[in-house]
């Protein structure tokens, strides 16, 4: 059985040797949103998630479960969008799209000129 391929967005800061491939990520840490964000290197997102949870607990403790559920849903369904957004905030720009099996494979395909 062949490995699953997905679309990866290639991001760059303008230097040809600085590339990041962002794909559709599904990971067990998605059920613990701040840890998922830290695992992906999304520090701003992790801080925002923790701040949102603290605010929910302080304002109305019963709302914390609802906020946690919403963060899980956002992380699971829109995690790759959050990742692209954070990289854009940090100054990276989208320069291509590649279909590949891994992030490393996507970067390699882009560098070989096989991107769309």
Position 76 in a domain: yes
Average pLDDT, the chain: 85
Query: Nearest 5°: CA angle at 75, between 69 and 76?
Result: 90
Residues of the chain with pLDDT > 90, as a percent, come to 19
For the segment 3-41, what is each residue's pLDDT rounded down to a tens digit? 677 888 899 998 767 888 888 766 676 678 898 888 888
Kindly state whether residue 67 falls inside one of the protein's structural domains: yes
Predicted TM-score (pTM) of this structure: 0.73
The confidence score (pLDDT) of residue 91 equals 92
In a domain, 18, yes or no: yes
DSSP state of 90: T
The parent domain of residue 12 ranges over 6-111
Q: How many domains does the chain have?
A: 1
Residue 1 is assigned to a structural domain of this protein: no
Q: DSSP letter at 30?
A: G
* 116 domain-assigned: no
């Amino acid at each position: 059985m062949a490995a699953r391929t997905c679309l990866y967005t290639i991001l760059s800061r303008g230097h040809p040797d600085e590339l990041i491939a962002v794909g559709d990520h599904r990971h067990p840490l998605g059920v613990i949103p701040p840890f998922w964000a830290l695992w992906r290197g999304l520090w701003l997102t992790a801080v925002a998630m923790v701040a949102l949870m603290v605010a929910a607990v302080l304002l109305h403790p019963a709302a914390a479960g609802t906020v946690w559920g919403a963060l899980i849903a956002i992380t699971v369904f829109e995690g790759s969008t959050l990742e692209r957004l954070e990289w854009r905030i940090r100054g990276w720009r989208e320069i291509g799209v590649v279909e590949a099996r891994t992030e490393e494979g996507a970067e390699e395909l882009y560098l070989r000129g096989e991107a769309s």
